[in-house]
Amino acid sequence: MRWSNISVIVRREVRDQIRDRRTLFMVFILPVLLYPMLALGSLKLSAEFEQKPRKLVILGRENLPESPRLLNEKGDGFEPSLFDSPADAERLLVSTETAAGPWLDPTQQKAAIRRGEVDALLIVPADLRQTLDKLSEREGIPIIFESTDERSQITYLRVREVLARWREEIVLSRVKERQLPKTFTEPIQVKGEDVASKEEQGVNVWARLFPFLLVMMSLTGAFYPAIDLCAGEKERGTMETLLISPASRGEIVIGKFLTVVLASMTTALLNILSMGLTGVQIAKQLGAVNNGAGHAVETVIAPPSLLSVFWMMLLLVPLSVFFAALCVALAVLAKSMKEGQYYMTPLYLVCIPLIFLTLMPGIELNYFYSCLPVTGVSLLLRALMLGDYEVAWRFFLPVLVPTVLYGAIALRWAVDQFHREDVLFREAERFNLRFWVRHLLRDKEPTPNGGEALFCFALMISLAWFLMQYMALSGLATSLKATAAGQIAFILMPPVAMAVLFTSSPRRTLRLRWPHWSYLALALGLVLTLNPLVMELGDFVSRLFPLTAHLKEAIARLMGEAPSVGVAVILFALIPAVCEEFAFRGFILSGLERGHRERSAILISSVLFAFMHVLMSLSQQFFNAALLGLVLGLLAVRSRSILPGMLFHFVNNSLAVVQGYWTANPVGARIAHWLYRNPEKGLYHGWLVLLSILLSTGLLALLLRRSNASDLSEGKDQVAHEPLLSAG
């Protein structure tokens, strides 16, 4: 990697972006103009709406008491003393009618409100004066309004507030007549004392707002430059000129990536700066308005401190790196800028729920949220801005390391795409659904492509999700038969059906081939030597993300339904091993191998494998499933067979299932005492864990050194004569 070439690429791309008027407008002009215009427009519109007078009809004015007065002397409005200012009283236009005739008809009332003739009606009961004289009775005064009409609803709220103040006047007049102290009606007074200072209240506002802005603006800043630098180069025909330069493909990607990072950070900073300054100016204009705590608005929405700005700039770097790498990787796939926008749009659909999760009450930073690429950074920034450094320092690395790792994976994906000529030089084409389906069924290839593999995964997840919802509604959520049927129908059948329909060699796609005996031995040895490490990791994860009591009870109830240990092994070990291996190490891994290098294909398939366990069972299984997925993928690729992975998967699940059974009898208990330091959790003694590390490392090194059969020439007849498993 030559940084001189990367520097040249960065300068070239930055100059191209500066020459592009769209980029200049999105990065520099839009943030400066957008927020002041939005703020002024919103203030003007809200002021026009709020200040507009509302029409109220009072039926039965003659039934109102003379003191204290509700209406003014003229009877065309409420008593001004019931409002904060005379201007507030003028915003309610009152007209009076007798409590008779068509106004008492509910149909007429509703029609008048909908036609805009009146916004609300107030009906004064005929016996209101007599009721007020009787202290033991209380009269209700109905206000007719329509909640679906904002004008009517606002009028109702204004009238309700006026009646509440009139009620207080009635109570005070009664107290005065009976010569009682004012505290007679309020024997106690609740007095809240907020320990948070005004500055801390202002920081709390920005701590919830700025993480959201930081994510959305950094994503927006990476969105358009990435499309222009990749798909735009294809449309302009300058991609070929760049590729014949002395820079390598990796250096070109790094140069484009750094350019997008710069654009993302600049856009985010300018947008946040513009919005922050606009918010402060608006707060100053509304300085006379007080919030619930009695502080002026400009003191609550105070500018963030310099320390908060520093934390924002610091966390903007990994966030921009992540989004830039992901956008570049997706933009390389696009044939045109229009198609690039289609690829990028799902990013917003994924990021919006992740960032809105941080705005929900009760969501705090923990090890689970720290692994989420967007949520973790947002929660960390909120903790830093609030000064909760004890939590921030504890989760600083758990947030930054996964975010940088996700960005590195996306950047590696982009580099892989740049090494594929069919991706770099394909041009935009018109899509015809009928021709595409005909091509898919007629021009079959031996194995699926990456798109078909990802579609298979999405199909499995969607079908399994609907099955889980149906099982929950029908009370079958803990049914053994339903669990087994779901595995076969929605995990096994989609990849098998797609392999038969869309590939010319389902056997090769699903790796239906007898492996060399050494791979079966390696699979068996690895699963036994890795088991102590698997149990240690499982216990560590369970302590970080403890199971709820309800979930533990559901798992115990499901396991307890198995009539025998043999049935439990079949349901929880054999069936998942067969179904999941055909899906992930069969169809999905075969498809990913076509578009990615061996390591990338194994890594992506293992992440998908872990993600499936999170959605369908336990989030605590993510790390174990991801690490075991790497071993299973390596076994499948090296042996070119599905059987070693199935054996590994089956034995690994069987050990977890039978561990609770065989330790319950006396003989098993004595053996368990020799093996485990904690038989209940299945935690081995320290010397066995150390031995497990040494042996598993040796076996993995042996597996990595074995020649990959898939690297053999496709023209050799040896592959054609290898014994294959029967697909039936």
Instruction: Give one word for 144, left, alpha or beta, with left for phi > 0 and alpha for psi -120 to 50.
Output: beta
Amino acid making up residue 300: V
DSSP code at position 61 = G
Asked, for residue 688, whether it belongs to a domain, the answer is: yes
Say yes or no: 15 and 59 in one domain: no
Q: Are residues 263 and 407 in the same domain?
A: yes
Regarding whether 265 and 210 lie in a shared domain, the answer is: yes
Same domain, 290 and 385: yes
Q: 124: helix, coil or strand?
A: coil
DSSP letters, 365-425, are --HHHHHSTTHHHHHHHHHHHTT-HHHHHHHHHHHHHHHHHHHHHHHHHHHHHHT-HHHHS
- Residue 248 shares a structural domain with residue 128: no
Residues contacting 691, CB < 8 A, separation 6+: 532
At residue 601, the pLDDT reads 87
Residue 277 CA to residue 279 CA, distance in Å, equals 5
Q: Which residues contact 188 (CB under 8 A, 6 or more apart)?
A: none
Beta-bridged to residue 684, according to DSSP, are 676
**Does residue 104 fall inside a structural domain?**
yes
Question: Is the same domain home to 83 and 220?
Answer: no
pLDDT of residue 37: 56
Residue 61 lies in a domain: yes
Does 619 map to a domain?
Answer: yes
Q: Which domain holds residue 19?
A: 3-44+197-424
Q: Which tokens go with 121?
A: 């009606």
Tokens 């590994």 correspond to what residue? 648
**Rounded distance, CA 594 to CA 585, Å?**
14
In a domain? residue 410 = yes
Residues 144 and 231 in one domain: no
Q: Counting every residue, how long is the chain? A: 728
Give Cα 525 to chain centroid, integer Å. Answer: 39
Mutual angle of helices 306-333 and 249-285, in 10-degree steps: 140
Cα 485 to Cα 336, 448, 461, 481, 497, distances in angstroms: 44, 26, 15, 6, 16
Query: Is 191 domain-assigned?
Result: no
* Distances 586 to 272, 309, 539 between C-alpha atoms, Å: 47, 49, 30
Residues in a beta bridge with 78: 71
* Full DSSP string of 143-154: EE--TT-HHHHH
* Residue of 642, 633, 636, 678 whose CA lies nearest to 660: 678
Query: Taking CA 102 as the corner, what is the angle to CA 101 and CA 103, rounded to the nearest 5 degrees?
Result: 95
Residues 38 and 56 in one domain: no
> Are residues 508 and 471 part of one domain?
yes
End-to-end Cα separation, the chain, in angstroms: 50
Count of structural domains, the chain: 3
Burial of 313 per CB tally in 10 Å (0-12, 13-18, 19+): middle
For residues 111, 112, 115 and 121, what is the CA-based torsion angle, rounded to 10 degrees? -120
The 3-state DSSP class for residue 325 equals helix
Question: What is the per-residue pLDDT for 287?
Answer: 53
Of 126, 156, 183, at which residue does a domain stop? 183
Q: What CATH number does the domain containing 160 carry?
A: 3.40.190
* H or E element that contains 206: helix 198-236
Do 39 and 165 belong to one domain?
A: no
248, part of any domain: yes
- Rounded CA-CA distance 328/343 in Å is 11
Any idea which residue has 């890795």 for tokens? 530
Q: Phi first, then psi: give them for residue 28, nearest 5 degrees.
A: -110, -45
Nearest alpha-carbon partner for 698 in 514, 522, 475: 522
**What's the one-letter identity of residue 702?**
L
Residue 612 Ramachandran class (φ > 0 left, ψ -120 to 50 alpha, else beta): alpha
For residue 117, CA distances in Å to 57, 151, 155, 332 come to: 10, 12, 13, 60
Separation between Cα atoms, residue 4 and residue 203, nearest integer Å: 43
Mean pLDDT by 10 residues, the chain (728 residues): 76 68 59 56 53 80 82 80 79 80 80 84 82 66 82 85 85 78 67 61 71 82 84 78 80 88 85 72 57 46 68 85 87 76 75 79 75 85 82 86 85 80 57 62 80 85 70 58 78 90 89 91 92 85 68 68 80 90 92 80 88 69 84 92 94 83 66 77 85 91 69 38 40
Residues 578 and 702 in one domain: yes
In angstroms, rounded to a whole number, what is the distance separating the alpha carbons of residues 646 and 574? Answer: 8
Bridge-based pairing of strands 54-59 and 92-97 is parallel
Residue ending a domain, among 183, 214, 233, is 183
Long-range contacts of 445-448, Cβ-Cβ distance < 8 Å, separation of 24 or more: 445/503, 445/504, 446/503, 446/504, 446/505, 446/508, 446/509, 447/503, 447/505, 447/508, 447/509, 447/590, 447/591, 447/593, 447/594, 448/498, 448/499, 448/502, 448/503, 448/509, 448/587, 448/590, 448/591, 448/594
Q: 220 and 262 share a domain?
A: yes
Beta pairing class for 683-684 and 92-97: unpaired
> Concatenated DSSP letters for 640-675?
T-SHHHHHHHHHHHHHHHHHHHHTTSHHHHHHHHHH
